[in-house]
Structure 1
Amino acid sequence: MQLRASSDASGVRTAMVNGMRGKRVVVTGGSRGLGEQIVRLLLAEGALVATCAREAAGLKALDASLSEEARTRLLTEELDVTEPGRLEDFVSTAAKRFRESVGPAAPDDVRAAAEADALDGIVACVGGSRGGAFEQTDIADWAATWEMNIGHAVRLTRAALPCLRGAGGGSIVLITSISGWKPGPPAQYGAAKSAQIHLAASLARELAPDGIRVNAVSPGSMLIPGRRWDRMRKEDPRAYAAFAGAELPGGEPVTPQEVARAVVFLLSDWASGVSGAHLPVDRAQNAPSPYGY
């Protein structure tokens, strides 16, 4: 296995591991933001990828932006991961389609890896929060936030376990947040992300005998077009500058591409000794919100 140079979506040249070629990976929430960058990097590294999202438009745009060869290694489906049974069916379908979609023109190592209905990795990237301040957030908001984060991660993992075991082991990465270990509102989001961090550590011990590694990655604030920090930067530049000056020691937030590199590393064979870890990727960010501690 060797290091080789590759370019991410931002055009930055970086040395990436050459251990993802032919790997079969399911990524939830892969049509935009961090999930999209994870999918793009996995495809650039030669992996077979299945991803889902609630809106078909983002998935179609992702597919259209790829090379013809990369599209042969990508499976997409529009679905809500909180809808009963849909996520589980998607995981099963992905494992089968990886085997069926690899044609005779594919490289030998890719075809060999896809001979069985199996998976080498999963990334639980869907997340979010419903409700607002504590007194304005009802129990239904708490339940919805829990299901989007910890509930979906549990269901994804349970559905993928037989496929991971079928591959002789694999890697699970749960996308959490610095809000899961650095306090800041809203409480329901931080509580759900904290639970994901604990889940990764617990499952790492429980699933180790099966050769399955489990790790959590906590991104800091990320500049994603149309999302919170990007809107603040455009609509209230003074507030954004105050936030960056107080909470971002490096002066700017981490990029989705930087977080994606950490995720792909944990999925790769180069991280074979890493399990039960909680990896913040946040440029040493202080508080996760403009409100400080």
Structure 2
Amino acid sequence: MALGLSGRRVLIAGGTRGIGGATARLLAAEGCVLALCGRNEDDVRAAVRDTDAHVFGRTVDVTSPGAVEEFVTQAAEELEGLDGVVACAGTARGRGLGEATAEDWSATWEANAGYSARLLAVAAPHLRASSSGSAVLVSSISGWKPGPQAQYGAAKAAQIHMAASLARELGPDGVRVNAVSPGSTLVPGKRWDRMRTQQPQDFAVFAREFPQQRLVQPEEVAEVIAFLLSDRSSGISGANIPVDRAQNAPTPDGY
């Protein structure tokens, strides 16, 4: 079903692989004009080459001071405005509480909640100027289902709260803000895919955390993100939408 997104100008931070890459491909198929960034130059080039749309791509480390702000500004100039933004970059650093350093906590925060706030701060004037401004923060079920490590869950919980709070702050100007919380997602070459091929017995045990014994696919998350960027979701703002196939524990590592 077409979502009426043709011509929409959408920025995706972390838009080259996994959920971000699937989102870029779906939005391109819907007729969007895209700006996307990633940390790896080869991945950015491949995403620009393989996405069937007008794409403004840049290699950006979103945790580097000023980098995401510069990217948003450049993208808005290139696309002549922004109708939607997706904060899809994210990672974790460090282990348990006794081993994680202050730098691990700080780095994990910045790679998830910190850059998301900075991205939205710069994008907000452009979204206000749009007739359909919408922002989506890609959080995680780890943001409300306890699992190791705490620094990652805390940063993801902050994104969920940020979406709810900023939806109230930006709502009077016509801008919607929502969070999407994927469950464990089967991305080629990443942790769960490696587990599936290298540790099939452990993977089968982990799959029992899902009622259908199937992990989430990147395309399933992308569909929800695209819906939240569209006018079909005009009544949804400040929400956290799980896309987790009713997953129980967020990791196979306990809790």
TM bracket (short chain): over 0.9
Q: How many residues get paired? A: 255
Aligned to 2:69: 88
Q: CA deviation at 1:45?
A: 0.3
Please state if 1:183 is matched with 2:111: no
Contact 1:220 1:282 in 2 (8 A): yes
Given residue 76 of structure 2, which amino acid in structure 1 is its aligned partner? A
Q: Deviations over 1:215-236 (max 9, x none)?
A: 0000000111111101111111
Moved over 3 A (4+): none
Match of 2:191?
228
Structure 1 residue corresponding to 2:48, chosen from 63, 83, 91: 63
The answer to whether the Cα contact below 8 Å between 1:169 and 1:210 also exists between their aligned partners in 2 is no
Aligned positions of 1:10-49 closer than 5 A = 15-17=1-3, 19-49=4-34
Corresponding residue number in structure 1 for 2:200: 237
Residue by residue, what CA displacement relative to the aligned partner does 1:58-117 show, whole Å, maximum 9, x if unpaired?
Answer: 1111222234xx2xx111000101111121111111111113xxxxxxxxxxxxxxxxxx
Amino acid in structure 2 at the alignment position of 1:139: A
2:35 maps to what in 1?
A: 50
Which segments of 5 or more consecutive residues in structure 2 lack a partner in the other structure?
none
- Is residue 153 from structure 1 mapped to residue 116 from structure 2 by the alignment? yes
Is 2:119 aligned against 1:166?
A: no
Q: Is the 8 A contact 2:37 2:60 kept in 1?
A: yes
Residue in 2 that maps onto 1:133: 96
Q: Are positions 1:213 and 2:176 aligned together?
A: yes
Distance in 2 of aligned mates of 1:66 and 1:289:
32
Aligned residue identity for 1:27 = I
Which amino acid in 1 is paired with 2:236?
V
Distance 2:135 2:51 in 1: 25
Q: Which amino acid aligns with 1:172?
A: A
Do the aligned residues in 2 keep the contact of 1:219 with 1:259 (CA within 8 Å)?
Answer: yes
Out of 198, 219, 235, the position equivalent to 2:161 is: 198
Checking the alignment, whether the CA contact within 8 Å between 1:168 and 1:210 is kept in structure 2 is no
Q: Provide structure 1 residue ranges, at least 5 long, that are not aligned to the other structure.
A: 1-14, 100-117
Select which of 253, 264, 287 maps to 2:226.
264
Whole-angstrom CA distance in 1 between matches of 2:239 and 2:65: 30
Residue 169 of structure 1: how far off its partner (Å) = 4.9
Residue 121 (structure 1) aligned with residue 84 (structure 2)? yes
- The alignment partner of 2:98 has SS state of helix
User: Do the aligned partners of 2:39 and 2:60 also contact (CA within 8 Å) in 1?
Assistant: yes
Q: Whole-Å Cα distance in 2 between the matches of residues 86 and 166 of structure 1?
A: 23
SS of 1:83 mapped into structure 2: coil
State percent identity of aligned pairs: 55
TM-score using structure 2 length: 0.97
Instruction: Choose 1 or 2 for highest CA Rg.
Output: 1
How far apart are the structure 2 equivalents of 1:254 and 1:223?
6
CA distance in 1, matches of 2:191, 2:251: 11
Partners of 2:128 and 2:51 lie apart in 1 by 31
Q: RMSD across aligned C-alpha pairs, in angstroms? A: 1.1
CA deviation string 1:178-228 (max 9, x = no partner): 000100001100000001000100111111100000100000001111111
